[in-house]
């Protein structure tokens, strides 16, 4: 019997592109496997197996795992190996707190932007993302839905014209990513997220700072509802 691959080899992963560093591509594939729960919290990751799977030396795999360790997705234990990090309630709640502070400021700034053209451009871009999310939800494609969710928040941040804001949000959301993906399998979660995104954009379009801030706050506090369910259903995933 053929040996089961460590992670699913989607068509684009069968051969790494020569126009981008191998480590960054492997990082993306492993990150997606962790977010989609192909690699489960606490699961051991073999550098050798990954190197064989991607057809590369262990060096780019090791570089990718270091990047994943830096954002909290894997844990390297000396003399024991590399493991997918388990969920930490403390880190998830801290990340939510920081993201709310940043993203409420983002939507408030957009809603009150005196340049209406910029505000409407942001609204149109996000409305297109929401439409794409609806299509992903219809296909029950949780990973695509979450990637679009990330794109939604990154797009809002990019229209503040403060380049570091998007990178700060990206850094802090790592601890929420996997539990958010897992939550999409909870009944009604797709619809709830879509409605929350729509409320945020409606408030920005109307130029209401208060309503924009309130809608974003509600959206990011939704993790509290998720954390009432997921730890009970999957206690083995938490430290």
Give the three-class secondary structure for 238. strand
State the pLDDT at residue 223. 87
CA atoms of 107 and 113, how far apart (whole Å): 10
State the pLDDT at residue 189. 87
The burial class, CB within 10 Å (0-12 / 13-18 / 19+), for 213 is: buried
State the pLDDT at residue 6. 67
**Which residue is listed with tokens 């993906």?**
181
State the pLDDT at residue 2. 41
State the pLDDT at residue 7. 66
CB-CB contact of 34 with 178 (8 Å): yes
Per-residue pLDDT of the chain (239 residues; tens, 9 = 90+): 444 556 664 545 446 877 788 999 999 999 889 988 889 999 999 999 999 999 999 999 999 999 999 988 999 888 889 999 999 999 899 999 999 999 999 999 999 987 889 999 999 999 999 999 999 999 999 889 988 999 999 999 999 989 899 888 888 887 787 887 777 777 788 999 999 999 999 999 999 999 999 999 999 998 888 888 888 888 999 98
Please report the DSSP string for 154-187 in residue order: HHHHHTTT-HHHHHHHHHHTHHHHHHHHHHTTST
Write out the two tokens for 107: 């939507």
CA atoms of 148 and 130, how far apart (whole Å): 8
State the pLDDT at residue 230. 85
CA atoms of 172 and 174, how far apart (whole Å): 6
State the pLDDT at residue 210. 97
Ordered structural domains, the chain, with CATH? 18-84 (1.10.10.10), 89-234 (1.20.120.530)
State the pLDDT at residue 5. 54
The edge-to-edge listing of strands for the beta sheet with 74-77 is 44-45, 81-84, 74-77
pTM of the model: 0.81
- Please report the beta strands in the chain, taking only residues with DSSP state E, as ranges in sequence order: 44-45, 74-77, 81-84
CA atoms of 134 and 193, how far apart (whole Å): 10
């Amino acid at each position: 019997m053929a040996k089961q691959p460590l992670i699913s080899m989607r068509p684009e992963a069968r051969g790494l592109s020569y126009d981008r560093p191998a480590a960054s591509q492997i990082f993306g594939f492993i990150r997606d496997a962790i977010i989609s729960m192909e690699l489960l919290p606490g699961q051991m990751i073999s550098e050798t197996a990954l190197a064989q799977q991607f057809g590369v030396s262990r060096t780019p795999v090791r570089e990718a795992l270091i990047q994943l360790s830096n954002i909290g997705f894997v844990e390297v234990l000396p003399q024991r190996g590399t493991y997918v990090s388990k969920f930490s309630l403390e880190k998830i709640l801290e990340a939510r707190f920081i993201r709310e502070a940043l993203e409420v400021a983002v939507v408030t700034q957009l809603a009150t932007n005196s340049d209406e053209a910029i505000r409407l451009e942001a609204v149109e871009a996000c409305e297109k993302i929401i439409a794409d999310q609806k299509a992903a939800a219809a296909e029950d494609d949780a990973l695509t839905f979450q990637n679009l969710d990330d794109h939604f928040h990154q797009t809002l941040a990019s229209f503040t014209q403060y380049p570091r804001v998007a990178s700060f949000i990206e850094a802090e959301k790592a601890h929420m990513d996997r539990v958010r993906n897992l939550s999409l399998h909870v009944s009604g979660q797709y619809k709830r997220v879509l409605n929350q995104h729509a409320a945020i954009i409606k408030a920005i379009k109307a130029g209401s700072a208060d309503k924009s801030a309130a809608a974003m706050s509600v959206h990011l506090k939704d993790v509290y509802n998720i954390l009432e369910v997921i730890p009970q259903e999957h206690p083995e995933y938490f430290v």
